[in-house]
Structure 1
Amino acid sequence: MSEFEFPGVNLAVTTPFNADGSIDFGRFEDLFERYVETGVDGFVLSSGTGMHVYLSQDESMELVERGSKVIRGRAKLIAQASALLVDDVVARARHAAAQGADGIMVLPPFFEGPTDADGVFDFYSAVGEAGIPIIGYNVPHAVGVEITPSLFRRLSEIPQFHTVKDSSGDLAKQASLTRTGLPVMNGADPLVPYALYAGAKGLIWGGANFAPRTCVALVRAAKERKWDEVRELWRTLEPSMSLIWEGEYVQSVYAAAEMTGYGAGAPRRPLRRLDSSKVDALQAALKDLVKREKLAS
């Protein structure tokens, strides 16, 4: 098997919005440049954390175009290409490839789409015709389709299907995917150090929006098998990474990023800013992390 293409921290980057709900592309480019400087290995544009489902296809494509211009080959670029219609997924995928993206992330069919293995296989086979590496997306509680180890093995027969991002939040199930011997990416913030120890090849990490330097440091320590250092870094990260996973994930990431200096404005409607009753708990969870991010800058 060739070397894995998406190692390290792939930041599921937030999409900045103006007060009127339009995309703030100026702030997007500024944030992107700051994140590149922290040593982030790759970026997922129009991610779930970046409010993919509340962006038009044209907006998603423009994010990819602008992101590609800012990165200029300094990090990997992954575009989420998920959509209800297969033809729309393929169109997004071809556009991403034309912009120089290194890969696309794609949910399996959802909202009354096929849930059987044959249907899921046919879907990803069609997407593969776009000719760009595919990262499957395992988030069964959200879409009703689970990528099991047996389905993962079958999907890996598709030349363009390279890996699965597992956001199930279930370490045992992620470990079962890892035991296939195929590359797996962790997408569950509270599992990061455990997933790395269990053999995850890379991360797609929404929480890294508000702590990019610490997240990069943790992953580099894990790569060097400095597990004592990983544990110490995780003690700083764990309170916030666990808290945001408990609910209102996107709103929590946007709020935390404001607190640590990587603000992207408020989420787009229908989401609202994080409820004030939850802000104090988030600030408390971030206390030590804010200090470390500033020291590391």
Structure 2
Amino acid sequence: MSNFPFPGLNLAIATPFDGAGRIDYGRLEHNVERYLAAGVRSFLLSSGTGMHVYLSKQESEELIKRGARIVNGRAKVIAQTSALMVEDVVERTARARDAGAEGVMVLPPFFEGPTDDQGILDFYSEVAKAGLPVIGYNVPQAVGVAITPELLEKLNEIPGFCAVKDSSGDLAKQAALIRTGRFVMNGADPLVPYALYAGCDGLIWGGANFAPRTCVALVKAASERKWDEVRELWKILEPAMGLIWEGDYVQSVYAAAELTGYGAGVPRKPLRGLAPEKVPLLRKSLEALMEREAI
């Protein structure tokens, strides 16, 4: 669908932190420049991979503002504006719009929020009034709310609702969302080539932090329907993309990015760096990628 605003790879960029746990904006600028050079043309700021839930409201807004300024029109900018209170989501979305974001990704109401369809529809209707394309976020294992094909159809009646990002990790359920003909973005790293083949419209990809060149190449090959090339590139990516999905996802992405030269420091507390005993297996899964990403 040619009118989808966020096709292809949208990098859920890791938020860099310094040794004291503060956002390192110098490193953010350095990494954005390197990702742009690698071919990334869309960034999601304050993503889950970027530790959105462990940033204060002010930090998240400043990250979006500075990130958009660094990108400076050279790529698209999406911002996560999720919060517990709908009023906060609306305010964050308006501020992201004013900072230069071109879309927002928003979790359904979470932590004992409404789980009925009408409650979800009312929530996204309020968020959409801020005037940016809204990407809903389907991650039922974390939120307790599932966006079904039936709910997706209703959500698309909301002016400004753009797409759903599916991070359920269930290809069959994602395929059911795709069959609605509505815009669907894959957010599960191990499903990337299969989701592309099934017809998803875009990717929000955290694992691309540590392998941007290879991820860009795979998405390009898929867009050209060069499935043999996609398969060969996936053979290089799959060991790491599968491993990080097994647990300690954010810690693993940060550790892998350090190993491939796209470091963002270590995750902020309460998370810690990846346990030392897990690093050798991660390094082994990255052997072919480290060589390719160094080109």
Question: Where does 1:116-155 land on structure 2 (aligned, <5 Å)?
Answer: 116-155=116-155
Show CA shifts across 1:6-64 (max 9, x none): 01110000001111111111111111111111111210000000000000011011111
Give the CA RMSD over aligned residues: 0.8
What one-letter code is carried by the residue in structure 1 that aligns with 2:258? E
CA contact (8 A) 1:11 1:40 kept: yes
- 1:256 aligned partner: 256
Cα distance in 2 for partners of 1:61, 1:36 equals 22
Q: How many residues align?
A: 295
User: Does the alignment pair 1:88 with 2:81?
Assistant: no
CA contact (8 A) 1:7 1:41 kept: no
Three-state SS of the structure 1 residue aligned to 2:214 is: helix
- 1:188 aligned partner: 188
What one-letter code is carried by the residue in structure 1 that aligns with 2:133? P
Three-state SS of the structure 1 residue aligned to 2:43 is: strand
Cα distance in 2 for partners of 1:230, 1:82 equals 33
Cα distance in 1 for partners of 2:33, 2:239 equals 27
- 1:43 aligned partner: 43
Structure 1 position 2, deviation (Å): 6.6
Show CA shifts across 1:143-173 (max 9, x none): 0000000000000001110100000000000
Cα distance in 2 for partners of 1:68, 1:190 equals 29
Gaps of 5+ in 1: none
Cα distance in 1 for partners of 2:104, 2:210 equals 23
User: Does the alignment pair 1:218 with 2:212?
Assistant: no
Cα distance in 2 for partners of 1:292, 1:2 equals 31
User: Does the alignment pair 1:234 with 2:210?
Assistant: no
Identity of aligned residues (%): 68
User: Does the alignment pair 1:265 with 2:262?
Assistant: no
CA contact (8 A) 1:38 1:212 kept: yes
Three-state SS of the structure 1 residue aligned to 2:294 is: helix
Cα distance in 2 for partners of 1:37, 1:67 equals 16
Output the TM-score relative to the length of structure 2.
Answer: 0.99
Show CA shifts across 1:117-138 (max 9, x none): 0000000000011011000000
Cα distance in 1 for partners of 2:38, 2:164 equals 25
Cα distance in 1 for partners of 2:21, 2:294 equals 30
What one-letter code is carried by the residue in structure 1 that aligns with 2:108? P
Show CA shifts across 1:83-120 (max 9, x none): 00001000110011111211000000000000000000
- 2:164 aligned partner: 164
What one-letter code is carried by the residue in structure 2 that aligns with 1:72? N
Cα distance in 2 for partners of 1:168, 1:176 equals 12
Three-state SS of the structure 1 residue aligned to 2:286 is: helix
Cα distance in 2 for partners of 1:200, 1:73 equals 25
- 1:25 aligned partner: 25
Cα distance in 1 for partners of 2:219, 2:2 equals 21
Cα distance in 2 for partners of 1:227, 1:275 equals 36
What one-letter code is carried by the residue in structure 2 that aligns with 1:29? E
Cα distance in 2 for partners of 1:234, 1:68 equals 31
Cα distance in 2 for partners of 1:136, 1:116 equals 15
Structure 1 position 271, deviation (Å): 0.2
What one-letter code is carried by the residue in structure 1 that aligns with 2:66? R
What one-letter code is carried by the residue in structure 2 that aligns with 1:74? R
Cα distance in 1 for partners of 2:17, 2:2 equals 39
What one-letter code is carried by the residue in structure 1 that aligns with 2:219? V
What one-letter code is carried by the residue in structure 2 that aligns with 1:63? L
- 1:287 aligned partner: 287
What one-letter code is carried by the residue in structure 1 that aligns with 2:282? L
- 1:175 aligned partner: 175
Cα distance in 1 for partners of 2:22, 2:98 equals 25
21-30 or 137-146: which moved more?
A: 21-30
